[in-house]
Structure 1
């Protein structure tokens, strides 16, 4: 197996008895933007170079909202891929309960994941009834706003350092012919932006009451009313952002056509591919410059069960490789996300990534919505948000009332 044994000592005993032949593994994912493609290529290269097996790329164009139903349908329909990206959390819960996902507990124990993965909630999200079913590969946080220096320079105003400063600068951006807020039309984008505003405006305690404790009274109360009012303002700022995909919205910021975008740290990959420098061409504000906190969601790989010992052995080799130190560094530097291992050297990280690492080290973290809400509840909130963001006649008060109803029945 080439030099796999030198790179992954803990995996040797696990795989030596079972890896009897080379295998082609089909891997599905939705990483198709420029930055994402560069990042996933690091996984493919490592798997091809460091094992006897081959990564067969099964990229699904679009977002997770497009890809997940396809992925789940294939697994349920008896045509499973060999490995697939999903968000660690509750998305695969029913598939695991149905016995359709490979148990990776032996890999996790051999590789010492419980001692390496930070925060521990990432591995907890892969665990069902004490068994581990996924390999977390990164930490992605939604809690960022990205600001174009060119757009604000053209508008003759300083680059904001907080949400309130940004709101105050929005009229100048409009006068200069800029789109104040870049926003794609997919439901997950509007829902994610709302979540970021909730943490910044309602505060961490109120957000936790709603998202963790499912407190409908707080969701329908005065504190969250301020969030919906802010979202209504943001909706107006994004009125002329006529793009669909998140990376198209990011490109509006990169090219100076838009002043800002509320988007997760995966946007860094697009700025990097465009050759832009953090602090020089763009600014990133965690928590909208109000609450320096990050959510610790992200991506994980699950391995649908196969009736083939050789394939299963190759799947477990891949799972171990994805969390190896070198692969974690190479992938996450390209992706713009944070590594799941707390023991890797990220000296090459840019300013925005370093901010994320500092916040992570401080312990100022919250779970991601995929870890707190079921897919059904998330879908209901996304449906509400896309309707609210796209219909100026939908009042903040009416949207909040519907939101509180969803939270009251959330699971």
Structure 2
């Protein structure tokens, strides 16, 4: 697209918000302290266009929120914009013609030139058309460690997973929970996937999730991952919380030694005025294999039979990817920006690590981008059982996992 044409389209998109102030309901599942601070930056940026963000936060996380969002869209009561994760979660809604085509906005704003990695925009693309606005990169591959917990236990803060497992008895003796882990299924399956990338490596991870290779899922490399998951199960046995942010709070307050959780946990540390490198440490790839996944969040815009709201939807989509919005939002969220052309000098030590890994290209696609929601649900059910039922052996769980991968779509 020529620069003059792009400028005209961009001007039209942004000026549309000033013709008539329009309210847009935006649904999402960002309800923790750090998440609320981040979403407030998106709302502020949109409100500054002369329109109004009507917040539709749904508590309980994505597993609770997504069915509600989908039901509203398919039931004829769509919101103006809604969060989904990068991947295939909205695939059927797009195919049913229920989501707006944002290709004109994307071309006017030059998204193809600035979105990095390009796979994030690819995940929004169906039959060559763009249906969502990616807004951040979240990676699961982090181990967050409490300096207070290890000091109280008289143990040096670990630098990798093996040192962490070895420190578990000392943490327990000091009255600490070695591993804080919420009991929701997405958290247990997420922890397993982190262990897979760290211990088995990218090649095996891709064989399992990208190629749906059941032989690899049943192999010796994944056996080692399941044995590590058994260690994690033992370390987290006294972690009684449900929500991920409550588990993060256990690390922040020194009640737990650490937590396997995505970089969104950074938002909670920031709200608690914790300083990376002083109060807590972050180990990408569990300190074993510094690779991060390129998961994250994108916003989709349901088809609405209202011309003014449709114009405002374009404004919101464009605003979310503006450089200044990206900086403000991601600094609060703890995620990495999807733009590769912005200055993040104010990022903390943990975010800088993520940016360096991203710049080096040491990334994998998130499992949600490689398997269907149905397959993902089966895997979540398996790990919910494995982490909560100690009678399930490593061998039994791995056999079930290989069977799920064999039938994956």
Per the TM superposition, whether the score is higher than 0.5 is yes
Residue 128 of structure 1, CA deviation = 0.4
Looking at structure 2, the residues matched to 199 and 48 of structure 1 have their Cα atoms a distance apart, in angstroms, of 41
* CA pair 109-48 structure 1, distance change in 2 beyond 3 A: same
Do the aligned residues in 2 keep the contact of 1:143 with 1:263 (CA within 8 Å)? Answer: yes
Show the counterpart of 1:250: 248
C-alpha distance in 2 between matches for 1:203 and 1:347: 31
Distance across 2 between alignment mates of 1:122 and 1:113: 11
Query: Are the structure 2 counterparts of residues 230 and 9 from structure 1 closer, same or farther at C-alpha, using a change threshold of 3 Å?
Result: farther
Q: How does 1:108-119 map to 2 (within 5 A)?
A: 108-119=106-117
Q: Does 1:23 align with 2:19?
A: no
CA contact (8 A) 1:20 1:310 kept: no
The CA distance in 2 between the partners of 1:394 and 1:85, in whole Å, is 35
Secondary structure of 1:301's counterpart equals strand
- What pairs with 1:13-162 in structure 2 (closer than 5 Å)? 13-14=12-13, 16=15, 20-49=19-48, 51-162=49-160
Residue 205 of structure 2 is aligned to residue 207 of structure 1: yes
Following superposition, the deviation at residue 62 of structure 1 comes to: 1.1
Match of 1:355 in 2: 353
1:332 maps to which residue?
330
After superposition, the CA RMSD in angstroms is 1.2
User: Does structure 2 retain, via aligned residues, the 8 Å contact 1:19–1:313?
Assistant: no
Say which SS state the counterpart of residue 208 (structure 2) adopts. Answer: helix
Kept in 2: contact 1:15–1:313 (CA 8 A):
no
1:232-274: CA deviations, max 9, x gaps? 1110100000001000000000000000100000000000000
Structure 1, unmatched stretches of 5+, are 1-7
SS at match of 2:116: coil
The Cα shift of 1:18 comes to: 9.0
1:158-216: CA deviations, max 9, x gaps? 00000011011111101111000000011100010000000111111111100111100
1:313-332 alignment runs, 5 A limit: 313-332=311-330
Kindly state the Cα deviation for residue 138 of structure 1 after the two structures are TM-superposed: 0.2
Shift of the alpha carbon at 1:13? 2.9
Counterparts of 2:41 and 2:153, CA distance in 1: 39
Contact 1:181 1:261 in 2 (8 A): yes
SS for the counterpart of 1:234 is: helix
2:3 corresponding residue in structure 1? none
TM-score (norm 1): 0.96
Distance, in Å, in 2 between the alignment partners of 1:332 and 1:239 is 33
* Local SS of the residue matching 1:283: strand
Matched residues in 2 for 1:17 and 1:401: separation? 56
- Distance in 1 between the 2:74 and 2:159 partners? 47
Q: Deviations over 1:112-135 (max 9, x none)?
A: 000000000000000000000000
Unaligned runs of 5+ in 2: 1-6
Asked if 1 retains the 8 angstrom alpha-carbon contact of 2:295 and 2:366, the reply is yes
- Aligned-partner SS, 2:53: strand
Does the CA contact (< 8 Å) of 1:196 and 1:287 recur in 2?
A: yes
Report the Cα distance in structure 2 between the residues aligned to 1:259 and 1:275, rounded to whole angstroms.
18
Measured in 2, the distance between the counterparts of 1:142 and 1:151 equals 22
Name which of 214, 217, 224 aligns with 1:216: 214
- Look up the SS of the partner of 2:258 in the other structure: strand
Q: Secondary structure at the match of 1:86?
A: strand
Distance 1:148 1:18 in 2: 46
Provide the rounded CA distance (Å) in 2 between the counterparts of 1:208 and 1:126.
21
Residue 17 of structure 2 contacts residue 315 of structure 2 at CA under 8 Å; is this kept in 1? no
- C-alpha deviation, 1:10, in angstroms: 5.4
